[in-house]
Amino acid sequence: MPKWEVHNKWAEKMGLPEEITNFVNHLSDFPDRTQEFKAFCEREGEGIILRLVRTHDFSTIMKIPKYLQLMFVRQKGNEYVTAWYLHYVLDYIRMAPALTAEEILKRTEDRFEPCQEWESTKKIVRENAEELVHDCRA
């Protein structure tokens, strides 16, 4: 994964508060150590997971860990959702060096439902793809 400094740099360029970025960094990299997320999963996780499992769609079921995080940040607000998508894409860029930024955006878009926060993330990635990829893979 890219260093948090990389995540923070790009979140700042999107105008996201550092407090939110740091929260999402911790949630994404250490979900089991994020007490608020653990409480959310204990309270609402079972219902969310059961709805996904009932689909009997393996690709949907494989989304459960990230889907739970996304549902959790949605209740915290738009900036958290934007920060979460940005973190996800930057990690993906780092983990998939054979893929272009555009290919990663497409694959990510196929995994999640469209929303304004995702559109904002796509925009900054497309506008800054070369520098962003360099930062993530350095």
Question: Where do the structural domains in the chain lie, given as residue ranges?
Answer: 4-137
What single letter denotes the amino acid at residue 75?
A: Q
Mean pLDDT for 13-38 is 95
38: helix, strand or coil: helix
Question: What is the pLDDT at residue 55?
Answer: 73
**Residue 81 clears pLDDT 90, i.e. is over it:** yes
Say what the pLDDT of residue 67 is.
Answer: 87
- Whole-angstrom CA distances from 36 to 4, 28, 59, 65, 136 are 20, 13, 27, 15, 28
Please say if the pLDDT value at position 73 is more than 80: yes
Query: 85-130 pLDDT, tens per residue?
Result: 999 999 999 999 999 999 999 999 988 888 999 999 999 999 999 9
Alpha-carbon distance of 90 to 79, in angstroms, equals 16
d(CA 88, CA 29): 10
Per-residue model confidence (pLDDT) at position 65: 85
Taking residues 43-53, what's their average pLDDT?
85
Q: In this structure, is the dihedral angle defined by the CA atoms of residues 116, 36, 33 and 21, taken in order, positive or negative?
A: positive
Q: What is the pLDDT at residue 57?
A: 65
pLDDT value at position 112? 86
- Reading the block at residue 98, the tokens are 């054979």
Pairwise CA distance, residues 74 & 44, whole Å = 13
pLDDT at residue number 53:
78
Mean pLDDT of the chain: 92
As a whole number of angstroms, the distance between CA 45 and CA 138 comes to 36
Share of the chain above pLDDT 90, in %: 78
Q: What is the reported pTM?
A: 0.90
Joined tokens for residue 67 = 């889907």
